[in-house]
Structure 1
Amino acid sequence: MGAVNAAGALLGAPPPLPGDPPAGSDIRGGHAIVTTGLTKRFRGGQVAVDAVGLAVPRGSVYGFLGPNGSGKTTTIRMLLGLVAPTSGEWSLLGEAMPAGLARSLPRVGAVVEGPAFYPYLSGEANLRRFDAADPAADGRTVRRRVGEALERVGLAAAAGKRYRAYSLGMRQRLAIAAALLAPRDLLVLDEPTNGLDPQGTREVRTLIKEIAAEDTTVFVSSHLLAEVEQMCTHVGVMRSGRLVAQGPLADLRADGGGPRLRVETADAAEAAALLEAAGLTGVSAAVHPDGIGEVTADLGDAVPERLCALLVTEGVRVRGFGVVRPSLEDVFVGLTGEGFDVGA
């Protein structure tokens, strides 16, 4: 890792992205992960990660979002010391890397592309073997710690069940349990819901929220917008190796525009005229082949209930009425002009 300059205060980054700490501030103390200009080039000149500057607040659930092949896993491998960056600086839990790996990694739990378990051993026996491979683990407390980890992920009742009989959701929860055999300040999960059915996805999502509620910072990568939107407080968006957006989820949504009013009615022209007369901006109307129209407008500070009462009082036949707020997909398309995987 000689190519990485891990000394210094991790300052002097390129122009900050939204959500970056103020320039010149001590960003390590309040952040679980910080990177400055983190870059990885492979042989042949391929740039997998291009000058990424992450700032992951302590106590957050940070969604590291991007399509497959955008550089998420390579970034995670660099953070954990599994791959040497070509250039750049980074810190974990306030420790400058790579010099601080020995001090910080015992406080970090990670599931990167899933650990390998023995199919014919039980979940409990697998965790015991996993724990035995950790030189820092205390063998005198292994029974208690394994039991607590299984309880924490909801697998205590299945502790004696063979791994090969576990569902995909149970296997992913066991992997997370393996990462929690010791107290962790930071949990790094690479695509934790990848390949899971809806039930398994809900199980893992609920578990991540519970872990975060115990003051553990969770850094979770995903290519699914819907999943990140449901469980994360902060988001970083990767595209082709670059970080194109970063910040609190609520702030990114606000950057995508304010709430929009949507009215479904057979009297689209009349509804649009009334909303414009009421002072709403951005009013547009479209009529579908079946004669039912959709009218949308920027809600601004208007009260939706009063607008609905106005339309009804003026004889507009309202079939549907609601307020639509910008989704993470809307924000992403606005930032990049490209589509994204939103499925689960």
Structure 2
Amino acid sequence: MTTPAPAATRPAARSTPERDARPGADADLAVATSGLTKRFRGGQVAVSDLDLRVPHGAVYGFLGPNGSGKTTTIRMLLGLVAPTSGTVRLLGEDVPAARARVLPRVGALVEGPAFHPYLSGAANLRRTDAADRTVDPRTSGRRIAAALDRVGLTAAAGKRFRVYSLGMKQRLGLAAALLRPRDLLVLDEPTNGLDPQGTREVRALVRELAAEGTTVLVSTHLLAEVEQLCSHVGVMSAGRLVAQGTLADVTAATPTRVALEARDREGAARVLAAAGVVGVAITEDGAAGELTAGGPDPERLLVDLVGAGVGVRQLRLERGTLEDLFVDLTGEGFDVRA
């Protein structure tokens, strides 16, 4: 694992006031919060001063260890919990002021699905659809069938919810979120309980929805899910957003490890240190260290090593991973299951 990146190389977690103040600054954002804070009774702060920026059309991976404030944030976005302070804008409109207009355009699966246990999957979706006064009831059957088919539950549509497996329950929750076209989909651990095949199918569904123009915010602990799905990422720790940006920009903040094999180990270490490689250490077969932002180019290292008479047998560069960054920023491990 790499050593922590210098603070200057990490992505800024907050937007600058200048950017927020510009007219139309949130025009390209499906989700925008400013100073969003939730303080519970007793003074416990679950979310602190959160400036979330989710661009239209993005698949945004919302990461953080348990208790970091992800679900509380999602509940505030959807108007299920009132913030202590700060503002929320979804799809260009203020929430909760424009909640009646905005929420029909938002599909959500939060903290697992909850349905009537003695009704079938299809019957539960009929009840859910009937509660939406903004849709045409004459198209209900067609939309329910399409939603069930999209999540692979057509064959189980007539089974009671109580006999569904955990994975099937997750699928039904996704179907409920897809009963009508959505501009924004908010998914809290969408692959929870799914087997590997089901997980791949959900990933394919999210990609398909994103290709159709739906913005997807995915709260997850699964590293593979983020790296395979997401265009953008935000990392929460202890209620604060500690990193945010495109996946490429955020992971670029991690140092690159350089390791070389050379007979003259001490000489190799001296050249690396003189070139600006940090944390240089002599290894069993050579020397190693880290290239941080603004450090030397690998090509220059080779020139310096050869110029110093250090015969290099092999030079390896290992880019820091999203897991490295997560551990660095939160101090906690990451669930890397596929």
The TM-score with structure 1 as length reference comes to 0.78
> How much identity, in percent, do the aligned residues show?
61
In structure 2, what is the equivalent of residue 22 of structure 1? 19
Q: 5+ unaligned residues in a row in structure 2: which ranges? A: 1-11
What is the one-letter code of the residue matched to 1:24? A
Whole-Å separation in 2 of the counterparts to 1:41 and 1:295: 46
Q: Secondary structure at the match of 1:255?
A: coil
Q: Once the 2 structures are TM-superposed, how far is the Cα of residue 120 of structure 1 from its aligned partner?
A: 4.9
Residues 170 and 213 (structure 1), Cα distance of their counterparts in 2 relative to 1, 3 Å cut:
farther
Equivalent pair of 2:242/2:329 in contact (CA under 8 Å): yes
Alignment match of 1:59 (pick from 32, 36, 57): 57
Equivalent pair of 2:32/2:52 in contact (CA under 8 Å): yes
Q: Once the 2 structures are TM-superposed, how far is the Cα of residue 254 of structure 1 from its aligned partner?
A: 1.4
Equivalent pair of 2:279/2:289 in contact (CA under 8 Å): yes
In structure 2, what is the equivalent of residue 140 of structure 1? 138
Q: Once the 2 structures are TM-superposed, how far is the Cα of residue 164 of structure 1 from its aligned partner?
A: 4.7
Alignment of 1:82-121 (within 5 A): 82-121=80-119
Q: Per chain length, whose mean CA-contact separation is higher, i.e. which structure has more relative contact order (CA < 8 Å, sep 6+)?
A: 2
Residues 172 and 198 (structure 1), Cα distance of their counterparts in 2 relative to 1, 3 Å cut:
same
Equivalent pair of 2:151/2:174 in contact (CA under 8 Å): yes
Q: Deviations over 1:263-290 (max 9, x none)?
A: 6x696839957996xx8955956546xx
Alignment match of 2:265 (pick from 257, 264, 269): 269
What is the one-letter code of the residue matched to 2:92? G
Alignment match of 1:342 (pick from 317, 335, 338): 335
Q: Deviations over 1:149-191 (max 9, x none)?
A: 1232233344345545544333322211110101100000112
Residues 297 and 82 (structure 1), Cα distance of their counterparts in 2 relative to 1, 3 Å cut:
closer
1:50 paired to 2:44: no
In structure 2, what is the equivalent of residue 325 of structure 1? 319
Q: Once the 2 structures are TM-superposed, how far is the Cα of residue 211 of structure 1 from its aligned partner?
A: 1.7
Q: Once the 2 structures are TM-superposed, how far is the Cα of residue 67 of structure 1 from its aligned partner?
A: 0.7
Alignment of 1:1-344 (within 5 A): 17=13, 22-25=19-22, 26-164=24-162, 166-257=164-255, 259-262=256-259, 269=265, 272=268, 281=277, 284=280, 287=283, 295=288, 298=291, 302=298, 323-336=317-330, 338-344=331-337
Residues 285 and 49 (structure 1), Cα distance of their counterparts in 2 relative to 1, 3 Å cut:
closer
Residues 153 and 197 (structure 1), Cα distance of their counterparts in 2 relative to 1, 3 Å cut:
closer
Q: Secondary structure at the match of 2:20?
A: coil
The TM-score with structure 2 as length reference comes to 0.79
What is the one-letter code of the residue matched to 1:327? T
What is the one-letter code of the residue matched to 2:80? L
In structure 1, what is the equivalent of residue 5 of structure 2? none
